[in-house]
Chains A and B, each alone.
Chain A
Amino acid sequence: MSALLRHARYVLSGNPVTALAFGLFGLLLFAAIFGSAIAPYDPLATEAARALKPPSAAHWFGTDQLGRDIFSRVLVATRLDLTIAFASVILAFLLGALSGVAAGYFGGWTERIVGRIADTIMAFPLFVLAMGIVAALGNNVTNIVIATAIINYPLYVRVARAEANIRRDAGFVEAARLSGNGEARVLLGHILPNIMPIMMVQMSLTMGYAILNAAGLSFIGLGVKPPHPEWGIMVAEGANFIQSGEWWIALFPGATLMLAVFCFNLLGDGLRDIVDPRQRT
């Protein structure tokens, strides 16, 4: 374990951008866990007297049309946004990686069926598909997670299938069969661990995409319902006020959203360097 830490330190010292991404990730994680405990104001408390105030020492990100503290709302929203994104990425990974690995390894009918499902999903404009799914299944957090997972599914299938296919005839796979491993064990115990680094990168990249997608659904009113604090809704609400000069209502949640997506995209590459054992010399 200490070797892994030492390696992580080495990779980070050579790559300040990744270090920055890890710093941001730590900040986001902190906000997600302790957000509601450290928020200076109640994110739901309205107060007409302090509505639409620009950023100040008392209200760092200003207040919205109902007088709620935007900083507190952005902070508290972190947990919900990250949870949705994380849950959908895990779901997409479980479905996509497992069926993709099986498709790449077995080929034949398995590959054709999995491939067709992925192709069908890819044939839709993905955001519209997500909209449709949420509209059909009902407007709640579980369904946002499912919709986001489904539109990410083909990305996992493609990567997992290609990577499993490369390794299908590798020496160590044959050796595993000779060692008495059945097909399932070869797949899960030998091939899957080898494509985990690549899947980690994929997870980190789709994490950013999942955050954006969840926020996008909420932005158009399909998803988390107001007054619940969520970045997408906050941007949507704030958008009405940009014209009249109250820019801070949309800007701060929007910037946070962008930063989170940015962070996960950078994280992807950094993770790959750390997890890949071949670079751990």
Chain B
Amino acid sequence: MTAPLLDIGELAKRFPVGRKRSLPQRIADSVAGRKPPVSLLHAVDDVSFTIGRGETVGLVGESGCGKSTLVRLVNRLLDPTDGIIRLGGSDLGAIRAADFAGHPARARVQMVFQDAGDSLNPRYTAADAIGDPLRRLKRLGGAALRARVEELADMTGLPRELLSRFPHQLSGGQKARVGIARAIAVQPDLLILDEPTAALDVSVQVVILQLLQRLKAELGMSYLFVSHDLNVVRLLCDRVLVMYLGKIVESGPAATLFTDPKHPYTRALLSAIPQADPVRRAGRLRLGGEPRSPIDPDPKVCRFYGRCPSSTERCTQEAPELRRLEGERAVSCHFA
């Protein structure tokens, strides 16, 4: 097996959060000169995975599970607390996020944002938006810049006459194309797709997904595809990572993970997909309870404890490790 493109090893991000104190307590602390106690929010906790060249890896999980923090770590907008981020052999994690904008490696990781409208500067035309990374990272200008922007518009199916328009003059699908054109402009090795079709109508979604798949083949990129639409993940991804409260709880090839989920959380996620067919609705799993707090979690308790329908005493005494199963799969549950 050749070396993977992206290699994430034991990556962690912990945010300090102030603990709640009553007013008298705060006064007493400050009189006594005590520092306020600090808790740690474990947003991403000991996450390891790889993405091969030309591979599409899906990342699914509920909001608050640490998906967006993980994405910000991988695209180097945020510095990790711990762990490594290697891209094609170079150690990206060693470069500070604050310096990364000016680093040559910036062009290698790009991203398509969730809300195409929000991710476009309202005062930039489509051509300005697509040209921005080319100007900064490839030092293009003048006719060369214009030619490249037009080429990108053609590649993404954006009519050239729309290049002079502002975001508010474009439809949702057109804005999505501008966002994609901007992201592939500097020929990244890894493209992160953060729910690229969440705001689009189904008919437009199909076109955009097919465009993304075509571009991947044409340009030889790898994708990290973040989504909560599991139907779309199933269609687009080779492999899937399921995240819950900062940890990867299950991973495996899309084909087998969707037909035979091992982790109870994955089963619940799949059960929640709306089903038109009443036959398939039988025996579905609904999650009760409340997610555990990500602040100073007890290392001995399984993160899913409290919502898990099949938890036992053991789950509170020993947190399950992510263990390998056959067929490239891994799961972190005692009972899988």
- Touch test A–B (CB under 8 Å): yes
Closest-by-CB residue of A relative to B139 is: A180
Closest-by-CB residue of B relative to A180 is: B136
Asked if A278 contacts B113 (CB within 8 A), the reply is no
Given contacts A171-B113, A174-B113, A277-B168, whether A179 and B118 have CB atoms under 8 Å apart is no
- Shortest C-beta distance, B20 to chain A (Å), equals 22
A172 at the interface (CB under 8 A from B): yes
- Shortest C-beta distance, A164 to chain B (Å), equals 14
Write out the residue numbers on chain B whose beta carbons fall within 8 Å of the beta carbon of A277.
Answer: 122-123, 166, 168
A120 at the interface (CB under 8 A from B): no
Write out the residue numbers on chain B whose beta carbons fall within 8 Å of the beta carbon of A179.
Answer: 132-133, 136-137, 182
Asked if A176 contacts B121 (CB within 8 A), the reply is yes
A59 at the interface (CB under 8 A from B): no
Closest-by-CB residue of A relative to B183 is: A178
- The complex places the Cα of A180 from the Cα of B110 at a distance, in Å, of 10
B77 at the interface (CB under 8 A from A): yes
A194 at the interface (CB under 8 A from B): yes
B106 at the interface (CB under 8 A from A): yes
- B101: contacting residue among A170, A172, A180, CB under 8 A: A180
- Shortest C-beta distance, B140 to chain A (Å), equals 12
A181 at the interface (CB under 8 A from B): yes
Closest-by-CB residue of B relative to A276 is: B122
Asked if B123 contacts A180 (CB within 8 A), the reply is no
Tell me the interface secondary structure of chain A in the complex: helix
- Shortest C-beta distance, A186 to chain B (Å), equals 8
- The complex places the Cα of A182 from the Cα of B132 at a distance, in Å, of 12
Closest-by-CB residue of B relative to A277 is: B166
Given contacts A178-B110, A180-B133, A181-B136, whether A190 and B168 have CB atoms under 8 Å apart is no
Write out the residue numbers on chain B whose beta carbons fall within 8 Å of the beta carbon of A171.
Answer: 113-115, 118-120
B31-61 to A contact mask, C-beta < 8 Å, 1/0: 0000000000000000000000000000000
Given contacts A179-B136, A180-B136, A181-B136, whether A172 and B119 have CB atoms under 8 Å apart is yes
The residue among B98, B118, B121 with the most chain A CB atoms within 10 A of its own CB is: B121
B102 at the interface (CB under 8 A from A): yes
Closest-by-CB residue of A relative to B107 is: A180
Write out the residue numbers on chain B whose beta carbons fall within 8 Å of the beta carbon of A194.
Answer: 121-123
Write out the residue numbers on chain B whose beta carbons fall within 8 Å of the beta carbon of A170.
Answer: 118
The residue among A171, A174, A281 with the most chain B CB atoms within 10 A of its own CB is: A171
Closest-by-CB residue of A relative to B111 is: A178
Given contacts A180-B106, A277-B166, A278-B168, whether A175 and B101 have CB atoms under 8 Å apart is no
**Which bucket holds chain B's interface residue count?**
20 to 34
Closest-by-CB residue of A relative to B169 is: A281
Write out the residue numbers on chain B whose beta carbons fall within 8 Å of the beta carbon of A228.
Answer: none
- The complex places the Cα of A269 from the Cα of B161 at a distance, in Å, of 33
Q: Once A and B bind, how many residue pairs between them come within 8 Å at the CB atom?
A: 71
Write out the residue numbers on chain A whose beta carbons fall within 8 Å of the beta carbon of B113.
Answer: 171, 174-175
What total of chain A residues lie within 8 Å of the partner, measured CB to CB?
A: 20
- The A-contacting residues of B in range 94-108, CB under 8 angstroms, are 98, 101-102, 106-107
- Shortest C-beta distance, A138 to chain B (Å), equals 42
Write out the residue numbers on chain B whose beta carbons fall within 8 Å of the beta carbon of A178.
Answer: 75, 77, 106, 109-111, 133, 183
- The B-contacting residues of A in range 161-185, CB under 8 angstroms, are 170-172, 174-183, 185
Closest-by-CB residue of B relative to A185 is: B136
A40 at the interface (CB under 8 A from B): no
- The complex places the Cα of A172 from the Cα of B106 at a distance, in Å, of 17
- Shortest C-beta distance, A105 to chain B (Å), equals 13
- Shortest C-beta distance, B195 to chain A (Å), equals 12
Closest-by-CB residue of B relative to A192 is: B123
Given contacts A179-B182, A180-B107, A182-B102, whether A172 and B120 have CB atoms under 8 Å apart is yes
Asked if B123 contacts A177 (CB within 8 A), the reply is no
- Shortest C-beta distance, A263 to chain B (Å), equals 27
A193 at the interface (CB under 8 A from B): yes
Write out the residue numbers on chain A whose beta carbons fall within 8 Å of the beta carbon of B77.
Answer: 174, 177-178
- The complex places the Cα of A185 from the Cα of B137 at a distance, in Å, of 13
- B168: contacting residue among A177, A181, A281, CB under 8 A: A281
Write out the residue numbers on chain B whose beta carbons fall within 8 Å of the beta carbon of A278.
Answer: 122, 168
Given contacts A180-B101, A180-B107, A277-B168, whether A175 and B119 have CB atoms under 8 Å apart is yes
Asked if B75 contacts A172 (CB within 8 A), the reply is no
Interchain Cβ contacts under 8 Å between A and B, 18 examples? A171-B114, A171-B118, A172-B121, A174-B113, A175-B111, A175-B120, A177-B101, A178-B110, A178-B183, A179-B182, A180-B102, A180-B137, A182-B101, A182-B102, A193-B121, A194-B121, A277-B168, A278-B168
Besides A174-B119, A179-B132, 18 new A-B residue pairs in contact (Cβ under 8 A), listed by A number:
A171-B115, A172-B124, A174-B111, A175-B111, A175-B113, A178-B75, A178-B133, A179-B137, A179-B182, A180-B106, A181-B132, A182-B102, A183-B101, A193-B123, A194-B123, A277-B123, A278-B168, A281-B168
